[in-house]
């Protein structure tokens, strides 16, 4: 495999739509409320893309060094494990992407927090550092939290609350309690994608000592857990729209139909490899939800 292709594979660009869903969701509500800044939106998108690529590179490195990625793995081939990229090269890429992520996040904070108290601005700086650390330590290091069943919680926090609430607050310079609901929606659906990934890798993870929640609870309970994530995610968005008092906004929930059809299929899966296509369905359905909501909120925005 050529080096450019290996690096593109390591970046796992197919994960980007899911990572952007929270930014789009938070931005859509901010737009409806009359808060909009193209620069903030652009910097938030760039920062999120870099955070996601950083996470993907670090994940490839961590699982490769720990031997979790091996010939028995069901999912896509990883670059360190296959030898296409050396551990030294990947470490350099992780460091470089960390620096770029911090620069992008710093720029976002500089322009987004100008009219906020210094304490809030520094809080965002600390949050950016935590995002970088969380992206790396999911699989890298002796205490990698992904190996101790903490990945789900961290995805809920960073893909949901940090992404949706964080970007909305940068637009509005305020905190809106109702935004917790769409934050839950994006966070829970992102967690569902991770859960599918872990159900696919269940056997290999158990052998490798990667104690994900799926390994801890077993595949049958993991399916029930998955259904809970999807149902609560869709319900949270439904409640948010009800509070919004814009009935037409329910049109924005149309992609949720794909999620419910997906649930039925997941309950019938018996082979690990069949979970892999379902990751794409949930990830793209989540992205579609955010796009549909943005489109409807643009349409419904008061003149």
DSSP for 21-52, written as a single string: HHHHHHHHHHHHTT---HHHHHHHHHHHHHHH
Q: What is the pLDDT along the chain (303 residues), one digit of tens a residue?
A: 578 898 999 999 999 999 999 999 999 999 999 999 999 999 999 999 999 999 999 998 988 887 776 666 666 778 888 888 899 999 999 999 999 999 999 999 999 998 889 999 999 999 999 999 999 999 998 889 999 999 999 999 999 999 999 999 999 988 889 999 999 999 999 999 999 999 999 998 898 888 999 999 999 999 999 999 999 999 999 999 999 888 999 999 999 999 999 999 999 999 988 999 999 999 999 999 999 999 999 999 987
Tell me 77's DSSP state. Answer: P
Q: Which residues of 186-199 are buried (b: 16+ CB within 10 A; e: fewer)?
A: bbbbbbbbbbbbbb
Number of other CB atoms surrounding residue 257 within 10 Å: 11
Q: What is the pLDDT of residue 83?
A: 84
Q: What is the pLDDT of residue 168?
A: 97
Contacts 24+ apart (CB under 8 A), 113-121: 113/170, 115/173, 116/173
Number of other CB atoms surrounding residue 177 within 10 Å: 8
State how far the Cα of 103 lies from the Cα of 183, in Å rounded to an integer: 25
Tell me 165's DSSP state. Answer: I
């Amino acid at each position: 495999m050529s080096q450019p292709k290996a690096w593109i594979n390591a970046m796992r660009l197919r994960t980007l739509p899911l990572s952007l869903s929270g930014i789009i969701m938070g931005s859509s509500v901010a737009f409806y409320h009359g808060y909009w800044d193209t620069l903030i939106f652009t910097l938030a998108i760039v920062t999120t893309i870099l955070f996601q690529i950083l996470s993907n590179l670090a994940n490839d490195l961590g699982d490769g060094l720990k031997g979790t990625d091996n010939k028995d793995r069901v999912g896509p081939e990883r670059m360190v494990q296959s030898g296409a990229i050396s551990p030294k090269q990947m470490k350099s890429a992780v460091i470089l992407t960390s620096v770029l992520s911090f620069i992008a996040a710093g720029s976002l904070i500089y322009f987004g927090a100008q009219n906020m108290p210094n304490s809030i601005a520094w809080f965002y700086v600390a949050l950016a550092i935590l995002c970088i650390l969380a992206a790396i330590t999911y699989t890298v290091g002796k205490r990698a939290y992904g190996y101790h069943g903490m990945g789900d919680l961290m995805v809920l926090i960073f893909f949901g609350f940090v992404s949706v609430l964080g970007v909305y607050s940068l637009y509005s310079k305020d905190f809106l309690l109702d935004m917790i609901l769409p934050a839950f929606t994006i966070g829970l659906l992102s967690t569902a994608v991770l859960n599918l990934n872990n159900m696919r890798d269940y056997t290999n993870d158990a052998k490798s000592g990667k104690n994900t929640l799926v390994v801890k609870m077993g595949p049958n309970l993991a399916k029930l857990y998955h259904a809970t994530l999807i149902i609560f995610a869709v319900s949270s968005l439904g409640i948010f729209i009800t509070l919004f008092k814009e009935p037409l906004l329910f049109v924005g929930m149309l992609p949720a139909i794909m999620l419910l059809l997906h649930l039925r299929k997941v309950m019938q899966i018996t082979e690990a490899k069949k979970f892999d296509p379902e990751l794409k369905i949930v990830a793209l359905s989540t992205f579609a939800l955010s796009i549909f909501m943005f489109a409807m909120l643009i349409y419904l925005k008061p003149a």
